[in-house]
Chain A
Amino acid sequence: MEIKDKKEVKEDTDSRVYELGYLLVPSISPEDVPVNYGNIKELVSSLGGEIISDEIPRSITLAYSMIKVISNIRNKFTTAYFGWVKFIVDTQKVLELKKKLDLDPSIIRFLILKTVKENTIASKRFIRGDMLHRRPLVKKTEIEVSVPINKEELDKEIDALIEA
């Protein structure tokens, strides 16, 4: 019985959280993008993947032009649809997924990474926090500068202190 339990535990640890980021060919019309997006999600779940989170591919301008040979024609791309899926899958199945994605003509490039279950995008939350952090520093310096030194009042105060 103990051996069986150990095996079960091993099977659990064999599955990991992965993320698949991909770039779709811009020649796809915007209406057909959800179809391709659905196909990728289907492919992941057909390999026993459990999808955690994802984002619908959106059109982006690439930082540099990319080249992909599709049916012996060299294509140059400057825009693409960028999307990603986060899923839990067996470590053995990831290679299979990679091989299948390699053959997909609608994908320019893709990247499979090990990641964590939690939401990892932080930019929207923290840019504002950074701004708030900077403001009090500016105010402090303004207050210090704006206080004028009245010499007569100071002298009076000093005199009063000496007399006391």
Chain B
Amino acid sequence: MKLSRFFKVLYIIILGFVFFTFKIHSAENINERVKKLTLELRCMTCQNQSIYDSDAEFSNDIKKIVKQKLQEGESEGDIKKFLVERYGEYILFRPLMNYNNIFLWSFPFILLIIGLFFVLIKTKGKKI
């Protein structure tokens, strides 16, 4: 079997599974949503620790606020916006996808596309 086809098969299987599982995964309970969100927030009084991992007073307060706001039905985006207004963007471990950070977010994938083209062009038309 040709290797390229071999890998195509593997890739399609994996992508299929991922797609399939994303559908199932959408329902979560409140504690998991709090965990997911607070893992992406920086504890401002600790050293490079997420709010979820930290037991500092600051983190416990934010955990309470996040939980309360989620229960009130606010979206993750709203909560993040609220926290950024209060503490600045520094609190977000996942940088916002805004004008300033466009380079940060696009750079790896631009490189990946360039790399992919490089390999495809170099290997094009060579068959055994």
To the question of whether A and B form a pair in one complex, the answer is no
Residues of A within 8 A of B (CB): none
